[in-house]
Amino acid sequence: MSTSASSTPTTLRSHSEPRLLEPGLERSDRIFHGLSTLTGAFVLLVTGGIGLFLGLQAIPTLRHYGLSFFTTVVWQPELDHIGIAAVLLGTLEVALVAMTLAFPLALMLALFISDYAPVKIKSYLVSAVDLMAAVPSIIYGLWGFFLLQPHAITLSRWLSQHFGWFPLFHVDTDPNAAVWQQSRYTSSVFIAGAAVSMMAIPLACAVMRAVFDQAPQGEREAAMALGGTRFGVVRTVVLPFARGGIIGGSMLALGRALGETAAVLIIISPAYEIKFRVLEAGTQTISALIAGNFGNATASQLSALMTAGFVLFLITLLVNTAAAVIIRRSRSGAGTDI
């Protein structure tokens, strides 16, 4: 890249020859194109290599355990008895709880910013959402564990007291005991999900808000002119226009929630069992499993962890690619402005 443009002498061509429209590139340009293509290939190799590498590492584990790797509940490497059934379920549960909390809040905040907030504070709100996305996940972990948890467990108890008949809200303890067992309600899927939702909200909200802002102004004004209220405009113009963005943004946030590590690691207490009781203490996710076990893992255990990582990789890849496709499609219909 040291060759600069000025050092290359301009070649004089004879007048009879027409200048080629696709001339051979200057030397500096050939170097430039070559180097940047090389960088692109390098990035492709490294980032794409992660998936390939995890996939290759998964082969010995899958050969050794076979399908039982997906059906075994416990993770006991010393007994050669490992599987991801419980951690996979835990990962999905944490992510789904996070999205249950994050989706309505993100949607409402995005609508508020795009259509309801006073114009003066709109840019500050956009900044606040961006800032929320930039706060490190470990800080949300501390927040969830120390600030949220003492309050959230009273809600957990209340839910299990009154809705304990519903399997999701059941907790294996006596909810009506005079001295209630607080430790049965702490470190649950619910609290981990609440902390993760703090990371999912800004991501989903940013995408949704961007799409809401793109909703054609002419159609908004038309709806207004027909006597619609503000919510009428939102319901008939903004939401239908932004359906792709809403789904895509939520899926993007779901992808983030699935892979979240630090906050989950701080909050949950590891438990390897198939259960849907989200308010009860103990769960495990793939990322927390990897973070907690890679240190004293033997070569074969490391391969098992990477197999679990590969499964996580495939899920997030699927979710994110689907999200990208949906968002792209929704934007392609944006040319309806008058």
Region 131-190 residues binding another protein, contact defined as CB under 8 A: 131-132, 134-143, 145-147, 151, 154-155, 158
Q: Which tokens hold the place of 49?
A: 């290599």
3-state DSSP assignment of residue 281? strand
Q: Cβ 78 to another protein, closest distance in Å?
A: 20
Cα–Cα dist 140/79, whole Å: 36
Q: Which tokens hold the place of 243?
A: 């359906």
Strand partners, 283: 270
Run of H or E residues at 81: strand 81-82
> How many CB atoms lie under 10 A from the CB of residue 144?
23
Q: Smaller CB distance to another protein: residue 261 or 275?
A: 261
Binding status of residue 120 toward another protein by CB under 8 A: no
Q: Which of residues 4-23 bind another protein (CB under 8 A)?
A: 4-6, 8, 10
Q: Which of residues 82-111 bind another protein (CB under 8 A)?
A: 104-106, 108-109, 111
**Side chain identity at residue 22, one-letter code:** E
Q: Smaller CB distance to another protein: residue 4 or 14?
A: 4
Which residue in the set 149, 301, 320, 330 belongs to the binding site for another protein (CB under 8 A)? 320
Q: Which of residues 257-316 bind another protein (CB under 8 A)?
A: 258-262, 265-266, 287, 290-291, 294, 299, 302, 305-306, 309, 312-313, 316
Binding status of residue 336 toward another protein by CB under 8 A: no
Binding status of residue 212 toward another protein by CB under 8 A: no
Binding status of residue 238 toward another protein by CB under 8 A: no
Q: Cβ 218 to another protein, closest distance in Å?
A: 17
Distance of CA 65 to the CA centre of its chain: 30
Which residue in the set 255, 279, 307, 326 belongs to the binding site for another protein (CB under 8 A)? 255
Cα–Cα dist 154/160, whole Å: 10
Cα–Cα dist 170/80, whole Å: 32
Which residue in the set 2, 14, 47, 332 belongs to the binding site for another protein (CB under 8 A)? 47
Binding status of residue 117 toward another protein by CB under 8 A: yes
3-state DSSP assignment of residue 181? coil
Q: What is the dihedral of CA 56, 62, 67, 71, to 10 degrees?
A: -90
Q: Cβ 172 to another protein, closest distance in Å?
A: 23
Q: Smaller CB distance to another protein: residue 85 or 251?
A: 251
Q: Cβ 63 to another protein, closest distance in Å?
A: 18
Q: Cβ 103 to another protein, closest distance in Å?
A: 11
Q: Cβ 170 to another protein, closest distance in Å?
A: 20
**Number of residues located near another protein, criterion CB under 8 A:** 99
Binding status of residue 222 toward another protein by CB under 8 A: no
Q: Cβ 313 to another protein, closest distance in Å?
A: 6
Three-point CA angle 96, 100, 105, nearest 5°: 140
Run of H or E residues at 76: strand 75-76
Q: Where are the alpha helices (DSSP H) in the chain?
A: 27-65, 68-71, 85-111, 119-134, 137-142, 149-163, 189-214, 217-225, 230-233, 239-241, 243-259, 262-267, 286-293, 299-332
